Structure 1
Amino acid sequence: MAPEKHLAREQLPIPDVKHVGLTTYDAKDPNTSYPPIRELRPPKGAPNVLIVLIDDVGFGASSAFGGPCNTPVAERLAANGLKLNRFHTTALCSPTRQAMLTGRNHHSVGMGAITEMATSAPGNNSIRPKDKAPIAETLKLNGYSTAQFGKCHEVPGWEVTPVGPFHQWPTGSGFEHFYGFVGGEANQYYPGLYEGTTAVEPPKSPEEGYSLTEDLADRAITWVRQQKALMPDKPFFMYFAPGATHAPHQVSKEWSDKYRGRFDDGWDALRERTIEAQKKLGVVPQDAELTRRHDEIPAWDDMPDELKPVLARQMEIYAGFLEQTDHEIGRVVDAIDDLGFLDDTLIYYIIGDNGASAEGTLNGCFNEMTTLNGMPGIETPEFLLSKIDEFGTPTAYNHYAVGWAHGLCAPYQWTKQVASHWGGTRNGTIVHWPNGFADKGAVRSQFHHVIDVAPTILEAAGLPAPTSVNGIAQAPLEGVSMIDTLREAATPESHHVQYFEMMGNRGIYFQGWTAMTKHRTPWSADAPPPFDDDVWELYGPDDWTQSHNLVEQHPEKLAELQRLWLIEAVKYNVVPLDDRGFERINPDIAGRPQLIRGNTQLLFSGMRVSEWCVLTLKNKSYSVTANLVVPEGGANGVIITQGGSVGGWSLYAHDGKLKYCFNFFGIEHYITTADRPIPAGKHQVRMEFAYDGGGLAKGGDVTLYYDGEAVGTGRVEQTIPMGYSADEACDVGSDTGSPASPDYGPTGNRFTGEIEWVQLDIGEDNHDHLITAEDRYNLAMARQ
């Protein structure tokens, strides 16, 4: 086979090669000759690439890094590959993902925090600059097949709609195929799924055995088999990013019951066991010290005895959840192996996009929406105990306590969101490429960051970083290739300096030294101090766990690193620092577009839109009106619903009658029923809710109407003030997620008549001003 002619791969798409030569009049002329059409491929030897990114996992969680959660697939890949024990993320979801996918720092690509907190500042606007194309686009334009499965939390909030624009969705970011969800978290039993940019339903119900991660693995296996069956010579790039193990922690009992009794001695004992296991594995040095537990995190012995069985069960659920996730990843890896391509596939198995999540409160919760709505007192110890057997099931939306998050980040300080310390940013990572790296079962301890993944892939594939993509001149990559590090343990460190910042928590790494300041605590509602009042810490190159603060001994070193942090911050759009809460959630103040304006919204049958895309009906009076065509046999099914089994409301027909159900966190269902069936033919039905006022989450009176005539009244004693769900939609014509009313199930609830339109109207007694800054901030942070 003739060698490939040089292709100008620095300019993407690669320019067409123009044929210059004899053109004959007749194709049968013997002098007619054109070069054959060649399919675009990467350079010879370019490997397949698989990136696995798990959600919300601390360094000390996986058994591959000394943790209590069994991850045999990770261990197997590590035994035939390499463990990275100084690999770092950004401390939060969206920023880590956008940084990894672009090879640039998170502020440099507009993702200073989660998409829901975007502002108009360049470092925080959630808009990926056109001169920083993602790695998937580069690989696709060089001849790779590309696909993403699972979580996408990089789409600006105002673009998560059925009408787009879609240029920052996965299929607009270089992935030819996408199957997963768009947002911060997903119900493992009732996810809001998209194929490409089209909303789709899960293939089966929880009763039929559905779980999201298994579904994602099934889809990934089908895709990779198809790729290699039809084009075995064409390498693939697969990004597998399950919603696991982000809350809600949901997994079948076959997984969680494996861990019965394993955590009865609590999180402090867990940390002690973990560091000993880590030393035996060699993923931390023998002289590494276990950092102290900060006063903000309660000791296990100080927790109420009656609550401990529930706390232990929370951790059993999580451990089973992580093991199940590893198992499904293993199915994808095995499928690649069965096809004969595993040895020539570069795998990054990144165990966490940040540290373990401390967003579950000090006690944990059965339905995290109660906490996120500022109503944690609803879930008393007695209530939690009554639900202990339901944790992890489709009826639960649970999250573990802060103490477990800290325990799973052992041996480091702090957790997710805290970018200043390794507990928030150091994530165990495994790299597997038998055809590329000679060492097997070794550990690499050079400092690296998630922005180094993209440059590594390009070097492995023999591809240049493009200077132009789709006509836009490209900015340089900001990460460094890890290839030399991975090939030779003695390679000197190449990633010399790295800043960290997340909502005011900030730090700097430089040649082994670290300086940092924790500005705010994730689970605290207290206002953070002024930036200039923050207390900085300094740790030396030999202090693996950041245990000994050297500020007093080396004040000049601290000053040097603080100055370096500021230089890096200016370089990458980190400033202005922004620790605001409510102001960043309010689009008017933050300076980003908002989807819904005014007091009226019209919806049509078949629409499924997120809670952010619907008029806010909370803490105020409102009405819901629908024009229907009812069949002769009567009507049944959902007219419109918002939320699901963990909270929300539904207007529907049951046994022919109009009904309204307000679901208060799954604890109470306030149902109002019309006194007679909806007549056959064309009719207008209406529900009016008259809010009591006087504060948040108050009750109100419900009245139902047929064609303007009152046909039923009822009462809602208490309402949900901030958010019904973190991922359920507003549906017209059916309830596509978990059911908001006990009168119907998750399937078979489609409206049997015709819905011409549904209109939402807000009343004149607006109580929205009663919502506090902390309320809005806490709800938004739940969606990361």
Structure 2
Amino acid sequence: MGTTESPEVRRDILPIPDVAPSGLTTYDAKDPDTSYPPIKDVRPPATAPNVLVILLDDVGFGASSAFGGPCATPNFEKLAAGGVKYNRFHTTALCAPTRQALLTGRNHHSVSMGNITETATAAPGYTSVLPNTKAPLPLTLKLNGYSTAQFGKCHEVPVWQTSQVGPFTAWPTGGGGFEYFYGFIGGENNQWDPALYEGTTPIEPPKTPAEGYHLTEDLTDKAIVWARQQKALAPDKPFFMYYAPGACHAPHQVPQEWIDKYRGKFAHGWDRQREITFERQKELGVIGPDAVLTPRDPEMTAWDDMDPALKPVLEREMEVYAAFLEHTDHHIGRLIDSLGPVLDDTLVFCIIGDNGASAEGTEQGAFNEMANFNGMAAIETPEFMTSKIDEFGGEHSYGHYAVGWAWAMDTPYQWTKQVASHWGGTRNGTIVHWPKGIKEKGGHRNQFSHVIDIAPTVLEAANIPAPTLVNGVLQSPYEGTSMLYSFNDPEAAERHTTQYFEMFCNRGIYHKGWSAVTKHRTPWAMSGQAMPAFDDDVWELYDGNSDWTQANDLAKEHPQKLHELQRLWLIEAVKYNVLPLDDRQIERINPDTAGRPSLIKGNSQMLYEGMGRLSENSVVNIKNKSFAVTSEVDVPADGAEGVIIAQGGRFGGWSLYAKDGRARFCYNVLGITSFTIEADNAIPLGTAQVRMEFGYDGGGVGKGGDVTLYYDGTEVGRGRVEQTQGFIFSADETTDVGYESGTTVTSDYTAHTSRFTGKVNWVRIDLGDDAVDADHYLDPHERFRIAIARQ
């Protein structure tokens, strides 16, 4: 297919059907009547632009200076000066749902991503499995001749498909439509020491933190190289690049020199910051001239009521976040600058946040956010937080800012990430830059738009139809509305007139300027929150034609209008698979009660040396129960050193390893406290069985237990773990056999010295009753029998 369209090109059927060559078949290729058309690769229409979609993470409407916020983003401002700002652009209020909606042009429940992958259920709108009737935009573009690449975060892979055995149909380079992927799988990643993939292959970062590594810089470097190579080798072929760094999702981690730029700039606190940002937004014109600053909800604590002794830490949290966002802006500026030769014909969407700012860090913030995710936020006392103030943002922190700062970063709106009912959860400042396609420079667009509008906009700009068939499967229509109509007409009547919202049962509906909303759940209450009956939720009503910020609740004045919108929400909810509403908490974490598959079944698992980068969902769950870890190792003449098996890392996990020839077991609780049990003597030379048994105390979640170490069935050490993590070790650290990747559970070794000096023949993890063995020794025949039974 050439760049000149012909009647034979059927772009609505993908792959584009081949056209049989026509002409006389001759016997001899030298015959003058021998003639065949030249081979031509598939190309999009000649006018199709390059496309760059930039999607930041956990950045609220009021964070970036481009939209009036306190975080300096000069490159976003420069991009906006050459393009237009969309001031009423919306997301879904959570990361994975927003991303799947963006990539498919359909509502998040339509593509089965009603929540994050870790809480998927069997209900159609929540399975996390993308229906093959809704092919993603990158696949459509690739099959039309685009080069496609993704850099950064991919949180759309079902958790039971995240291991090295796949299936890879939901991975970017599997069924996602991307020819190249460099980034990470999951919700977040350590910026200093990430778990990276190139395609579907796990790789290690090219540098260490000591050598100056940072994930955002690395992703940008790779994106620049890819784009240059693509244009050097196929200049007639447009590209689609999806750049989605982990920034500014927790952990908030950034080089110290960027933090220093913000020292003392947030001493006025979050209430005052809202007022400052609000005035800037009015001056910039990113909110309506009559917009009202919404008040703080009673569930949030005023800055003046916070513990004065804790305020220096609270300030530091915001300094780190602001530095993180400015640092991200800097590297996005590098990427934009590198596209200079082709930037005029590159359609750039810069979406500043996949949801509102995150309020998942508790009212005092966190040094390690995993404390809150494990229901253990109280372990981070004010004294502990103060003692760590100089470490926030560095490689030994895994921090998150306080709820009040999230609220301030969503100025002028109510609420935050997760709260899909209110604009604070869903309205994200967006910049569109396309010199060849947008005449105005520095303009504003106030038409209502949504993340599902990106895909149809790209296809219309490229003059490519939405496909009706992809790989033989009939496709459902796009549910978004192209924004192209507004590119050169700021006064155009908006076309996206109705949009439902739902996240964690916080729900709302927008229809022709009006919005009806109800908040059901508070974001920072991670567990144990008493849920009201859905019919008891209190609905609010706002007239967006005169009330830009949802500040004036008209529910009592216009009950009939509220009822109309409530019915419309229900109609849309049925249409797009939002029902049944599901506010369960613990039940959705457990695969069995949630109804989703588990990669590992049963109470035993065999692992072998060299296996690594195994996510928590790829290994049997040892939390809140008794378990045993048995290994067979070959010990060299000079004794053993290094890891037998490790799970997690610096911010929580456990490791069975050898130090000075002796077996050790270390349980690290959130990087705050750890318990180490050491054997009395060295592991025997030659082939030996090293076993650790953990007897759980019971009586609840996160309790302690007794640890016993054995060599070949003989007890060699005993100790105590007083506390454990009940729900999660890490969102990014993994399990490794014979070494430890990423950060390490214990400082007894580093990632570079962690490799076992002998040989780890096998490791078996047994849970509960299966961990009990009267001889504390695993018979080889029994090991073989169980391994065969699991095939």
TM-score by length of 2: 0.95
Does the Cα contact within 8 Å between 2:628 and 2:771 map onto a contact in 1?
Answer: no
Task: Specify the code of the residue in structure 1 equivalent to 2:649.
Answer: G
**In structure 2, what is the Cα distance between the partners aligned to 1:765 and 1:691?**
14
**In structure 1, what is the Cα distance between the partners aligned to 2:701 and 2:119?**
23
Does the Cα contact within 8 Å between 2:194 and 2:205 map onto a contact in 1?
Answer: yes
- What residue is the counterpart of 2:316 in the other structure? 313
**Unaligned ranges ≥5, structure 2:** 773-791
Does the Cα contact within 8 Å between 1:626 and 1:684 map onto a contact in 2?
Answer: yes
Over the matched positions of the two proteins, sequence identity in percent amounts to 65
What SS does the corresponding residue of 1:107 show, helix, strand or coil?
coil
2:60 to 48, 58, 61: 58
Does the Cα contact within 8 Å between 1:247 and 1:397 map onto a contact in 2?
Answer: yes
Does the Cα contact within 8 Å between 2:653 and 2:669 map onto a contact in 1?
Answer: yes
**Unaligned ranges ≥5, structure 1:** 768-784
Task: Specify the code of the residue in structure 1 equivalent to 2:587.
Answer: E
CA-CA distance at 1:379 after TM superposition: 1.0
- Cα RMSD (Å): 1.5
**In structure 1, what is the Cα distance between the partners aligned to 2:244 and 2:479?**
23
- What residue is the counterpart of 2:697 in the other structure? 692
Establish whether residue 257 from structure 1 lines up as the match of residue 260 from structure 2: yes
- What residue is the counterpart of 1:39 in the other structure? 41
- What residue is the counterpart of 1:490 in the other structure? 491
- What residue is the counterpart of 1:164 in the other structure? 166
CA-CA distance at 1:161 after TM superposition: 1.2
**In structure 1, what is the Cα distance between the partners aligned to 2:517 and 2:645?**
49
Question: Which deviations, in whole Å up to 9, do the C-alpha atoms of 1:423-474 show, x marking residues without a partner?
Answer: 0000000001101110000010000000000000001111011111111111
Task: Specify the code of the residue in structure 1 equivalent to 2:536.
Answer: D
1:627 to 632, 639, 643: 632
Question: Which deviations, in whole Å up to 9, do the C-alpha atoms of 1:605-650 show, x marking residues without a partner?
Answer: 1222111221221222221111112222322211110110011111
**In structure 1, what is the Cα distance between the partners aligned to 2:725 and 2:491?**
58
What SS does the corresponding residue of 2:110 show, helix, strand or coil?
helix
Task: Specify the code of the residue in structure 1 equivalent to 2:518.
Answer: T
- What residue is the counterpart of 1:563 in the other structure? 567
Does the Cα contact within 8 Å between 2:710 and 2:717 map onto a contact in 1?
Answer: yes
Does the Cα contact within 8 Å between 2:45 and 2:463 map onto a contact in 1?
Answer: yes
What SS does the corresponding residue of 1:223 show, helix, strand or coil?
helix
**In structure 1, what is the Cα distance between the partners aligned to 2:229 and 2:631?**
45
Question: Which deviations, in whole Å up to 9, do the C-alpha atoms of 1:319-368 show, x marking residues without a partner?
Answer: 0011111111111111111xx11111111000000000000011111111
Question: Which deviations, in whole Å up to 9, do the C-alpha atoms of 1:218-254 show, x marking residues without a partner?
Answer: 1111111111111111111010111111111111111
- What residue is the counterpart of 2:433 in the other structure? 432
CA-CA distance at 1:659 after TM superposition: 1.5
**In structure 2, what is the Cα distance between the partners aligned to 1:637 and 1:740?**
12
Aligned residue pair count: 765
CA-CA distance at 1:134 after TM superposition: 0.3
CA-CA distance at 1:2 after TM superposition: 9.3
CA-CA distance at 1:662 after TM superposition: 1.2
Establish whether residue 361 from structure 1 lines up as the match of residue 366 from structure 2: no
Establish whether residue 271 from structure 1 lines up as the match of residue 274 from structure 2: yes
What SS does the corresponding residue of 1:341 show, helix, strand or coil?
helix
What SS does the corresponding residue of 1:264 show, helix, strand or coil?
coil
Does the Cα contact within 8 Å between 2:367 and 2:399 map onto a contact in 1?
Answer: yes
Does the Cα contact within 8 Å between 1:618 and 1:721 map onto a contact in 2?
Answer: yes
- What residue is the counterpart of 2:397 in the other structure? 396
Query: For structure 1, which segment, 214-223 or 431-440, has the greater mean C-alpha deviation from structure 2 after superposition?
Result: 214-223
Using a 3 Å threshold, how does the CA distance of structure 1 residues 48 and 289 change in structure 2: closer, same or farther? same
- What residue is the counterpart of 1:770 in the other structure? none
- What residue is the counterpart of 1:664 in the other structure? 669
- What residue is the counterpart of 1:212 in the other structure? 215
**In structure 2, what is the Cα distance between the partners aligned to 1:671 and 1:502?**
41
- 1:2-41 aligned at under 5 Å gives the runs 3-6=4-7, 7-41=9-43
Using a 3 Å threshold, how does the CA distance of structure 1 residues 723 and 766 change in structure 2: closer, same or farther? farther
- What residue is the counterpart of 1:781 in the other structure? none
Question: Which deviations, in whole Å up to 9, do the C-alpha atoms of 1:51-89 show, x marking residues without a partner?
Answer: 010001110000000000011111110000110000000
What SS does the corresponding residue of 1:764 show, helix, strand or coil?
helix
**In structure 2, what is the Cα distance between the partners aligned to 1:74 and 1:223?**
22
Query: For structure 1, which segment, 81-90 or 594-603, has the greater mean C-alpha deviation from structure 2 after superposition?
Result: 594-603
Query: For structure 1, which segment, 281-290 or 294-303, has the greater mean C-alpha deviation from structure 2 after superposition?
Result: 281-290
**In structure 1, what is the Cα distance between the partners aligned to 2:299 and 2:694?**
42
- What residue is the counterpart of 2:534 in the other structure? 531
**In structure 2, what is the Cα distance between the partners aligned to 1:2 and 1:582?**
54
Using a 3 Å threshold, how does the CA distance of structure 1 residues 673 and 420 change in structure 2: closer, same or farther? same
**In structure 2, what is the Cα distance between the partners aligned to 1:576 and 1:618?**
30
Task: Specify the code of the residue in structure 2 equivalent to 1:93.
Answer: C
Establish whether residue 733 from structure 1 lines up as the match of residue 734 from structure 2: no
Query: For structure 1, which segment, 428-437 or 582-591, has the greater mean C-alpha deviation from structure 2 after superposition?
Result: 582-591
Establish whether residue 124 from structure 1 lines up as the match of residue 146 from structure 2: no
**In structure 2, what is the Cα distance between the partners aligned to 1:665 and 1:341?**
47
- What residue is the counterpart of 1:575 in the other structure? 579
**In structure 1, what is the Cα distance between the partners aligned to 2:401 and 2:238?**
40
1:674 to 679, 692, 697: 679
**In structure 2, what is the Cα distance between the partners aligned to 1:560 and 1:655?**
73
Does the Cα contact within 8 Å between 2:52 and 2:349 map onto a contact in 1?
Answer: yes
**In structure 1, what is the Cα distance between the partners aligned to 2:21 and 2:703?**
74
- What residue is the counterpart of 2:784 in the other structure? none
CA-CA distance at 1:747 after TM superposition: 2.2
- What residue is the counterpart of 1:192 in the other structure? 195
**In structure 2, what is the Cα distance between the partners aligned to 1:91 and 1:199?**
30
**In structure 2, what is the Cα distance between the partners aligned to 1:595 and 1:296?**
39
Query: For structure 1, which segment, 395-404 or 203-212, has the greater mean C-alpha deviation from structure 2 after superposition?
Result: 203-212
Does the Cα contact within 8 Å between 2:43 and 2:144 map onto a contact in 1?
Answer: yes
- What residue is the counterpart of 2:305 in the other structure? 302
CA-CA distance at 1:673 after TM superposition: 2.0
Does the Cα contact within 8 Å between 1:620 and 1:765 map onto a contact in 2?
Answer: no
What SS does the corresponding residue of 1:623 show, helix, strand or coil?
strand
Query: For structure 1, which segment, 226-235 or 651-660, has the greater mean C-alpha deviation from structure 2 after superposition?
Result: 651-660
- What residue is the counterpart of 1:504 in the other structure? 505
CA-CA distance at 1:686 after TM superposition: 1.2
Does the Cα contact within 8 Å between 1:205 and 1:746 map onto a contact in 2?
Answer: no
CA-CA distance at 1:694 after TM superposition: 3.5
Task: Specify the code of the residue in structure 2 equivalent to 1:604.
Answer: Y
Does the Cα contact within 8 Å between 2:3 and 2:43 map onto a contact in 1?
Answer: no
**In structure 1, what is the Cα distance between the partners aligned to 2:449 and 2:3?**
40
What SS does the corresponding residue of 1:405 show, helix, strand or coil?
helix
- What residue is the counterpart of 1:585 in the other structure? 589
1:152 to 143, 149, 154: 154
Task: Specify the code of the residue in structure 1 equivalent to 2:688.
Answer: H
- What residue is the counterpart of 2:787 in the other structure? none
- 1:371-410 aligned at under 5 Å gives the runs 371-410=372-411
Task: Specify the code of the residue in structure 2 equivalent to 1:670.
Answer: F
CA-CA distance at 1:765 after TM superposition: 9.7
Task: Specify the code of the residue in structure 2 equivalent to 1:77.
Answer: L
- What residue is the counterpart of 1:280 in the other structure? 283
**In structure 2, what is the Cα distance between the partners aligned to 1:619 and 1:498?**
42
Task: Specify the code of the residue in structure 2 equivalent to 1:75.
Answer: E
What SS does the corresponding residue of 1:108 show, helix, strand or coil?
coil
Using a 3 Å threshold, how does the CA distance of structure 1 residues 242 and 79 change in structure 2: closer, same or farther? same
- What residue is the counterpart of 1:780 in the other structure? none
Establish whether residue 174 from structure 1 lines up as the match of residue 170 from structure 2: no
- What residue is the counterpart of 1:76 in the other structure? 78
1:548 to 537, 552, 570: 552
Does the Cα contact within 8 Å between 1:91 and 1:418 map onto a contact in 2?
Answer: yes
